[in-house]
Each structure stands twice: as structure tokens, then as C-alpha cells.
């Protein structure tokens, strides 16, 4: 697929998009779910393409919403709940819009566009957004701190990689991801304490632009909710769930539901797994979301055949480098079908 992708991306998808072919394909699941991670704030200039690759520009976001309005039936999150929990029918070409993490820009940049376009969205936030002074996502902060200064001996304070893998030095992103996995084995308090040590050790300044990096606080979260947006849970502290001890994974999932429900005074029915792919979660997490009382839970991949369909709902993860033709090919299910056909 690695060799096929550039051809699909540059030639085939644009051609199919131009002819309108992709808008006539029937959706495999009967619906599609699109997943964002935020919008680039207007006064922000990218400090790292790797981390910023999950955010789209305001212009692209608006164009994608207008495309969905023209070619799909955008549904309310509660329509999705009625389908999943009561078997109510969804309209043809139903699409649900979702957004993970709860960065401040979801309120300042994304929400105004959603309002202007009249599009509802299901926002998945962590329990950090129940506090008055939330910080950054810890793994994004770790990325910046490691960029400022190598961890040195602080790395040795973390549990070893659970698979015994050792990252050869030289590839920064692999080294960082290895630390994210190792730190995910700590419980939330121990990881918080370790991050304090990393901050003191690094002394590096964090990047500016609060809207890009900070998580929503409790009053900002309430604004989104009071404006009619639907809120779901995304764990308490966003670890790699499969690397947590079972009690910790349960607390991350169940605890986020309880804390956010308490902060908002309303019930949560949807959950999104952090990172949401087979490398970061599995059967135990499907059971834990069910046990916690959610009606459904969302992945961050387009296909994963499991025995728990309601708790493994596939989504199209929108990235900054995705053209409208690619966006259309992913949502139509064609991209996923082609990937499966070539066995990758
Ligand atoms: Zn996330």
C-alpha cells in the first residue's frame, strides 16, 4: 500500500472526486464518522509539523463541513445514540462529526465555524477539562520538553518498555513515543510527579499560543455543552490504555465518565479511546467501556473487526495533509476497502 498510496492520493482520488463518483458509493457501515483534533488558531505558526499534523486550518474545516452538508446527512450525536442503543434508523449517508482531546481551540476557533455552518459535534474531552487550570496534554508537553533537553537519567525512572523494545537513538519521534508508552505504565499520580521532574530538568520554555496547546477548563467546557454541543469522555489523563494496569485503566475510563458528568450535571453516553488504534488498546478496553456504562465507544481507525461492534466504532481521522478528494475517499469507505484488498 505504501507504493500505491501516492498514486491514489495524487491521481485516482482527485479524479474520482471530480466526477462525483465517491458521492454515490454506498457506505459499508451505513454511516461514517469523521474525527478532528482541533483547528489551527489564527495567530499560531506551527512549531512542529509532527504534532500539528492532526489539526486542520479554519478554511479547510469549513470546506469539509460544507462538503459533508452537500453530500451526506449530518446527524445529531443523539441520533447516533438512538441508532446504537434503540436501533432507530439513520438517514442514508449519515455522517457524525466528532472531535477529540478538548483543546481550547475547539471553543475559540472550531465552535464558531460549527455554529455558522449549523453542524452539531460530539466532543471527547479528558477529565482535565473539569478543572479550572488544566495543562497541556502530557504527551505533547513531553515532546516539547524532550526537544529542549534529552531526558538523561529521568528516562531510567520509568518502567521498561513492556515488550522489551529498546529504541536505538537517533529517531526523536520513536524515542518520544517509547517514553510515552513507558510513562503510560505509571499510574496517573506517579506520571504527574515524573512530569514535574521532567519540567524542572528541562527548564525549557513551552511554546506560546494557549489556544493551540491548553485544554479547555471547566467553564469553557460548559460553554460548549450549554451551546448544544454533545460531550463524551476521553479518559482522565490520556494514557496508552493497554499499558495501564487493569485497575488504572478502569479508573481512567470509569473515572472520566463520573468526573465529567459531575462537572456538567448531565449523563455521558459516548467514549473515545486515546490514540484509538490496535497498538494502544484491545479487548480489555472494549469490556471496560461497556462495564463503565457507556452506550458506545469510538476508535481512531477506519477499520477493526472486533466482537464488540458498539464499543469499537470506526472513525476517519482527519489530518492536516488530507485533500478534499482524500477526505471524500476516506469517508466513502473506498480508501479502507482498497487497503483491505491489498492486505495492509
Ligand atoms: Zn486524544
Whole-number Å distance, alpha carbon 140 to ligand 1 midpoint, is: 11
What is the Cα 208 distance to its own chain's centre? 22
- The values of phi and psi at residue 175, to 5°, are -65, -45
Question: How far is ligand 1, taken at its centre, from the CA of residue 300, in Å?
Answer: 9
**DSSP tag of 4:** T
The predicted-structure confidence for 269-308, as pLDDT tens digits, reads as follows 999 999 999 999 999 999 999 999 999 999 999 989 888 8
Task: Give the model confidence (pLDDT) of 224-275 as tens digits.
Answer: 999 999 999 999 999 999 999 999 999 999 999 999 999 999 999 999 999 9
Sequential DSSP letters for 165-191: --PPTT-HHHHHHHHHHHHHTS-HHHH
Between the alpha carbon of residue 9 and those of residues 167, 174, 321, 326, the distances in Å are 31, 26, 11, 6
Residue 168 CA to ligand 1 center (angstroms) comes to 27
Mean pLDDT of the chain: 93
pLDDT of 9 > 90? The answer is no
- Using an 8 Å Cβ cutoff, are 127 and 102 in contact? no
The string of DSSP letters for 239-269 reads: --GGGS-HHHHHHHHHHHHHHHHHHHTS---
Dist. CA 152 → ligand 1 center (Å): 27
CA atoms of 74 and 308, how far apart (whole Å): 25
Exposure string of 145-177, with b = 16+ CB inside 10 Å and e = fewer, is: bbbeeebeebeeebeeeeeeeebeeeeeeebbb
Distance 234 CA to ligand 1 centre (A): 7
Q: Per residue in 139-172, pLDDT tens?
A: 999 999 999 999 999 999 999 987 777 777 789 9
Cα(163) to ligand 1 centroid in Å equals 23
Q: How confident is the model at residue 77 (pLDDT cuts 50, 70, 90)?
A: very high
Assessment of whether the complete model's pTM goes beyond 0.85: yes
- Cα(110)–Cα(104) distance, integer angstroms: 9
Interval 332-343: pLDDT, tens: 988 888 888 876
* pLDDT 10s digits, 171-226: 999 999 999 999 999 999 999 999 999 999 998 777 889 999 999 999 999 999 99
pLDDT attached to residue 1: 44
Handedness of CA 318, 320, 324, 329 (dihedral sign): negative
pLDDT above 70 (res 4): no
| Half-sphere exposure in the Cβ direction for 139 (13 Å, CA) | 21
φ/ψ of 39, rounded to 5, equals -125, 145
Task: At 29, give phi and psi (nearest 5°).
Answer: -85, -10
Q: How far is CA 128 from CA 36, 188, 217, 255, 267, in A?
A: 19, 12, 7, 11, 17
Quote the Cα angle for 148-163-340, to 5°. 95
How much distance in Å is there from the Cα of 100 to the middle of ligand 1? 5
Distance 249 CA to ligand 1 centre (A): 15
Strand duo 94-101 + 31-36: pairing? parallel
Ligand 1 center to residue 4 CA distance, Å? 29
Ligand 1 center from residue 275 Cα (angstroms): 6
Tell me phi and psi for residue 160, to 5 degrees.
Answer: -65, 160
Ligand 1 centre and the CA of 325: distance in Å? 25
Higher pLDDT, residue 2 or 106: 106
Amino acid at each position: 500500500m505504501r507504493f500505491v498510496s501516492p498514486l491514489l492520493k495524487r491521481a485516482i482520488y482527485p479524479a474520482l472526486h471530480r466526477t462525483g463518483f465517491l458521492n454515490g458509493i454506498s457506505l459499508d457501515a451505513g454511516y461514517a464518522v469523521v474525527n478532528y483534533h482541533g483547528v489551527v488558531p489564527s495567530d499560531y505558526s506551527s512549531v512542529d509539523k509532527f504534532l500539528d499534523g492532526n489539526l486542520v486550518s479554519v478554511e479547510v474545516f469549513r470546506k469539509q463541513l460544507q462538503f459533508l452538508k452537500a453530500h451526506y446527512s449530518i446527524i445529531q450525536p443523539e441520533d447516533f445514540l438512538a441508532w446504537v442503543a434503540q436501533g432507530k434508523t439513520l438517514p442514508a449517508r449519515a455522517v457524525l462529526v466528532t472531535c477529540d482531546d478538548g483543546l481550547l481551540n475547539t471553543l475559540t476557533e472550531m465552535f464558531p465555524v460549527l455554529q455558522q455552518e449549523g453542524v452539531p459535534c460530539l466532543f471527547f474531552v479528558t477529565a482535565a477539562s473539569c478543572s479550572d487550570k488544566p495543562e497541556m496534554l502530557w504527551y505533547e508537553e513531553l515532546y516539547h520538553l524532550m526537544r529542549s533537553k534529552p531526558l538523561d537519567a529521568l528516562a531510567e525512572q520509568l518502567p521498561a518498555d513492556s515488550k522489551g523494545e529498546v529504541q536505538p537513538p537517533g529517531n526523536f519521534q520513536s524515542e518520544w513515543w517509547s517514553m510515552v508508552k513507558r510513562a503510560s505504565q505509571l499510574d496517573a499520580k506517579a506520571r504527574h510527579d515524573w512530569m514535574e521532574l521532567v519540567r524542572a530538568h528541562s527548564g525549557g520554555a513551552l511554546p506560546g499560543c494557549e489556544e493551540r496547546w491548553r485544554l479547555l477548563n471547566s467553564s469553557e467546557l460548559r460553554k460548549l455543552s450549554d451551546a448544544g454541543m454533545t460531550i463524551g469522555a476521553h479518559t482522565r489523563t490520556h494514557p496508552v490504555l493497554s499499558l495501564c494496569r487493569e485497575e488504572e485503566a478502569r479508573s481512567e475510563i470509569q473515572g472520566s465518565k463520573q468526573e465529567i458528568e459531575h462537572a456538567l450535571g448531565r449523563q455521558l453516553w459516548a467514549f473515545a479511546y486515546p490514540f484509538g488504534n490496535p497498538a494502544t488498546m484491545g479487548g480489555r478496553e472494549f469490556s471496560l467501556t461497556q462495564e463503565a456504562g457507556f452506550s458506545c465507544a469510538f476508535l481512531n481507525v477506519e477499520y477493526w473487526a472486533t466482537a464488540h461492534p458498539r464499543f469499537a466504532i470506526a472513525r476517519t481521522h482527519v489530518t492536516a495533509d488530507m485533500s478534499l478528494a482524500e477526505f471524500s475517499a476516506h469517508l466513502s469507505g473506498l480508501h479502507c476497502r482498497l487497503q483491505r484488498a491489498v492486505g495492509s
